A and B are shown apart, each in its own frame.
Chain A
């Protein structure tokens, strides 16, 4: 039982440290601010959550028993990270000149492929039909 819990603890530690490192690495590696903001705010938060879970398990086995007080920090971080990320991107937006251009205006060569082509073709045909009827009447 102890060995099993220790193995789970080490696994959680591994995952947690990996994600914390991934967050900081993406902070250094990615090229623009709006790409960089995704790394720390999501992956580091997940990593810290895993490390805190590992701490709860470790304390339950080797320390003073099961006190899930670390969950307090986890919940607090998971609540505040999106708010902080939103405010930081608002700050970056307010420093930009003008608004960034709307990516839905032009076709991206590597964008995701929409699978509603048939529906859109039908819609366009209906609109053409309505226009023609209007011109005839």
Chain B
């Protein structure tokens, strides 16, 4: 049963990796700045998913803390980039 579970987790990691590649394509290609911000946002959300899956596969707790830090810094980055596009200035 555990082997089957590992197989399911590995399959999920492959699917999430495909999702990250699609987001990366939009990040490289994106015609406007908000498109790139959106692609970065998607990328960090899928990175959290990938790290949680890796933690499930390895049975370690370390990846959880990394995922939490990425969630906080990713949100902060999205807010700061959007603010910069809106106002052309970060600190008001």
Interface residues of chain A, those whose CB is within 8 Å of chain B, are 2-3, 6, 9-10, 13-14, 16-18, 20-21, 23-25, 27-28, 33, 36-37, 40-41, 44-45, 47-48, 51-52, 54-55, 58-59, 62-64, 69-70, 72-73, 76-77, 80-81, 83-84, 87-92, 94-95
Contacts and interface: CB of A to CB of B under 8 A. Distances in A.
Contact of A55 (B25, B26, B55): B55
Contact of A20 (B41, B46, B61, B78): B46
A3 B2 CA distance: 10
A76 B70 CA distance: 11
Q: How large is the interface on B (under 10, 10 to 19, 20 to 34, 35 or more residues)?
A: 35 or more
- Chain A at the B interface: SS class: helix
Given A24-B23, A51-B53, A73-B68, A44 B83 contact: no
Contacts of B83: 87
Contacts of B23: 24, 27, 40
A27 B42 contact: yes
B34 A44 contact: no
B39 A51 contact: no
11 contacts: A13-B53, A24-B20, A33-B32, A36-B26, A37-B38, A44-B46, A58-B56, A64-B61, A76-B71, A91-B33, A91-B86
Given A10-B5, A95-B33, A28 B48 contact: no
B42 A58 contact: no
